[in-house]
Amino acid sequence: MLLDVLAHRRCEIDVINGGVVTRGELAGVPTPVNEALSRAVRARETGELRRQRRGISTV
């Protein structure tokens, strides 16, 4: 996944973490970490989130 993001290619975040979020919603189980991670990676893919020296900003 990291190599995809660094190469500006779409990665499998929706399949891996998005699947956890979807199944959590269906089961009524909150998955806030997976939701945040999915949003952050998608934002990085689209350029909305840029790499910073001190980490990433909140999405």
Under the banding of pLDDT at 50, 70 and 90, the label for residue 59 is: low
**Looking at the domain assignment, is residue 33 inside a domain?**
yes
Chain mean position to CA 24? 16
**Looking at the domain assignment, is residue 29 inside a domain?**
yes
Domain with 16, as residue range(s), is 2-46
**Looking at the domain assignment, is residue 17 inside a domain?**
yes
Number of domains in the chain: 1
pLDDT of 6 reads: 78
Q: What is the pTM of this model?
A: 0.66
Token pair, residue 19, equals 């699947």
CA angle 40, 50, 45 (to 5 degrees): 55
**Looking at the domain assignment, is residue 51 inside a domain?**
no
Relative orientation angle of helices 13-27 and 32-46, to the nearest 10 degrees: 150
**Looking at the domain assignment, is residue 37 inside a domain?**
yes
